[in-house]
Structure 1
Amino acid sequence: MHRRRFCSSLGATLAVTASPTLASANDGPLVGPIQLVGSRVVMPVSIGNAGTFLFAIDTGGAFSLIREDLARQLSLPDGGTLNVGVGGVTGFRNTFVISDASFAGIIRQRNILLVGVGPHVLGDQIAGALASGILATVFSELDFDALQWRVWPTGRPKLEGFTRLDSTITRPEGDRWSPFMTASGVVNGTRLRFLLDTGGLSLVRLNHHTARTLGLWSDDRPFAPARNGARIIRLEKMEFAGYTFEGLLALLLPDNQMVDISQGLIGLPLLRCFNLACDPVQRVLWTRRNSLTPGPFTYALSGLAVTQAGDAARVTGVGKGSPGEQAGIHPGDTILSPPPQALQQALNGPPGATISLTIGRDSGQSSATLTLRAYL
């Protein structure tokens, strides 16, 4: 997701903020709950006296978000408009101000500016998203085993069993934006720089130039077409934080996003395998392998990408080695039946499902049958 780094840094005025020093043995952390909800890691946020809502923790976010319908329901003050990008779409968006909020019952902040988004951006149960400053202002840890967010407001704990990453927490000039967190990883033997994004839905994402350089963007390599011309492929090997993962699915972008920051992105489905500690003094990250396995990341087993064209659908992508390719379907073909909505559901069906299609070309109509299967 391309997100312009434009807003004030969340966490800049946390009530517990202090200049961290080494903690004494008696300095324990503040502990608040987190949850894994679908493809998000979330924490409860109390907004004044209006109630408590689930907000995603988004370390790849430059600014915090809130569902605009909820902001208006709560009569939050208008914060003006900002020209920002969310979900790959850049434009002017309304902003709102939360005058007083409590994060996970342990941290309080006043006067938070959030960008309004539509109800489907974050998921059904998610009210908003908190930018990376929520973790990077004071020493903190996300513990995915215990489902806890730990904060050391006045010091730094002893990190037993943690590995210091080749990483950087970079705070943009002027502290106007939330910091971004990058670390190195190795893909098929090549060392790369990754943005660590707990709001990222993919296991691994690579920019277009990087994917081509590594030979991963190739019409001769099996791939599944994805939204907006992206591709999904299976990596041979990914090394991160001292561990090796084989056969991970990776999202390859059709363009280059945030190339000034990183060559790719590691999202929550992989990051959740590690407890993540943020050290804002040394500006580095530490990890410890936990008991979780990589989260799900899927692709359409049909190998087809389509867009609606009136009462039909036009094929925009056909994956190499896919059932769609084997059925003789080509980009530019028109699928006359099933109708678009039913077709989209069928193309994303389970293994073994069979789909009968009516194909339209300049030469006339034909029939094709697909049996869905995992092919990457």
Structure 2
Amino acid sequence: MIDRRTMLGAVVAAPLFPYAARGEGRRLVNSIAVEDNRVWIAAQIGTDPKPRYFVIDTGANVSLINDALAKRLGMKVIGQSDLLGVGGVSRFPYYNGSELTFASGLRVPNMLFAGTDARLGNDAAGALSAGLFTSYDSDLDFVKGEWRAYPDGRPDFAGLSQLKSRFIGDRMRGVRILADATLGGRTGEYLMDTGVPGQVVIEGRAATRSGLWSADRPYAPAQGSGIGRARVKRRIVRGDTLTIGSVRFDRPLVAVSAPGTPGHEGDGFIGLGILERLHLTTQIKPGALWIAANDRPAPAERYGFSGLWFDREGDDIVVGDVGTGSPAAAAGIKVGDRVSSIIWEELLRRNSQPAGSDMALRVVSGGKGRDVTLKLAPYL
């Protein structure tokens, strides 16, 4: 895989093949990189001479751009619309970004962006939606580090297996991919979402029947966020076998949303922690997704090794959740306890330390304070 800096140079040197050019068997190759739990690609916006980094988010139906950048580039607001995300519905301005040019020379005319002030990743100018992958036959090859587009159709699918899948949405609102996967013996439809850094997410509508939302099994507390201001309460648990087609993943980490919380169509998401270990190919005419296992190693697993979730209540810091089986639970910390003698930023830093680190806290419960030192551990 090349790094992000190399991708920028490739865009500057891009030959300008028009998007609408005709030809047989064209294969347009663009470099991608997996860094910081994101898939990155480089492109130029309109006449801006500086190439920019974008995140590839196959779970999104609308491409996003940093609002401040759009204004600096003089991009024109052509309307506003509501977008639904993990955090609910938010209203966004829409910008017409003129052409978007990639390293292969592929150009997307009249690219439409929704402006956002959300942080999409280090150095990210924006995020490119699933339309990048569902407008023409395409490969996401995480071993070679390539997004390959076939404007005339992919010539063959040798070595790949077709999933039971369907494309949802339309060209105006963006087309995304739902595919069948089986988790712990239960088959459901999951959105193939490179924008999710984890492995598997179970939506609120499917949480109860999944059998994974239970205080009796070890879990790490977490919250889901994204478009919208609301936060969705989640528990990260160790799941049973995940099977996608003929490819099997043992004991993935599963983020389970609280039962009844709103979500998207389908049972949940398959995130980048799983997808980067697959070769992904779209076939547009029948609306099909093809896959093959690759030889990339499993990425490092991430969750809170203390088992603690904190909330702010005015000037107080309160324990909002304590994961079953966690170091915090073993130390007797309870929901509603208060944490004193530490500022919020330092508390978050300590709580995100790697396994094996010591986490010192002053905990106040029932008006009595005590000093606690947790040994952070991978307990799931």
What is the match of residue 9 of structure 1?
Answer: none
Match of 1:298 among 288, 297, 302: 302
What is the match of residue 337 of structure 1?
Answer: 341
Pairwise CA distance, 1:340 = 2.0
Match of 2:214 among 218, 222, 235: 218
Q: How many residues align?
A: 353
State the distance in 2 between where 1:292 and 1:238 align: 17
SS in 2 for 1:111: coil
Do the aligned partners of 2:28 and 2:104 also contact (CA within 8 Å) in 1?
no
Q: Which amino acid aligns with 2:132?
A: I
SS in 1 for 2:329: helix
Match of 1:177 among 173, 176, 183: 173
Q: Which amino acid aligns with 1:267?
A: G
- Comparing 363-372 with 344-353, greater Cα deviation is found at 363-372
Pairwise CA distance, 1:337 = 2.8
What is the match of residue 65 of structure 2?
Answer: 66
Do the aligned partners of 2:100 and 2:107 also contact (CA within 8 Å) in 1?
yes
Structure 1 runs (4+) deviating above 3 angstroms are 255-259, 309-312
Pairwise CA distance, 1:277 = 0.7
Taking structure 2 as the reference length, the TM-score comes to: 0.87
- Comparing 357-366 with 241-250, greater Cα deviation is found at 357-366
Do the aligned partners of 2:31 and 2:41 also contact (CA within 8 Å) in 1?
yes
Pairwise CA distance, 1:300 = 0.8
Deviations 1:83-137 (A, max 9, x none): 22355253222221111221333321222221111152x1112111111111111
Measured at CA, do residues 288 and 16 of structure 1 come closer, stay the same or move farther in structure 2, by a change above 3 Å? farther
1:86-235 alignment runs, 5 A limit: 86=85, 88-118=87-117, 120=119, 122-172=120-170, 175-227=171-223, 228-235=232-239
**Matched-pair identity in %:** 30
Deviations 1:38-92 (A, max 9, x none): 1111221111221211111111101010011111111111223222235525322
Q: Which amino acid aligns with 2:116?
A: V
State the distance in 2 between where 1:275 and 1:358 align: 48
Do the aligned partners of 1:225 and 1:318 also contact (CA within 8 Å) in 2?
yes
State the distance in 1 between where 2:233 and 2:169 align: 32
SS in 2 for 1:269: helix
Pairwise CA distance, 1:152 = 1.5
Measured at CA, do residues 250 and 216 of structure 1 come closer, stay the same or move farther in structure 2, by a change above 3 Å? same
Do the aligned partners of 1:223 and 1:233 also contact (CA within 8 Å) in 2?
yes
Match of 1:237 among 229, 234, 241: 241
Mind listing any 5+ residue stretches in structure 1 that lack a counterpart?
1-13
Match of 2:280 among 270, 276, 284: 276
Measured at CA, do residues 90 and 200 of structure 1 come closer, stay the same or move farther in structure 2, by a change above 3 Å? same
Do the aligned partners of 1:34 and 1:104 also contact (CA within 8 Å) in 2?
no
Q: What RMSD over aligned residues (CA atoms) do the two structures have, in Å?
A: 2.0
Do the aligned partners of 2:86 and 2:263 also contact (CA within 8 Å) in 1?
no
Measured at CA, do residues 224 and 154 of structure 1 come closer, stay the same or move farther in structure 2, by a change above 3 Å? same
Mind listing any 5+ residue stretches in structure 2 that lack a counterpart?
1-17, 224-231
State the distance in 2 between where 1:76 and 1:276 align: 33
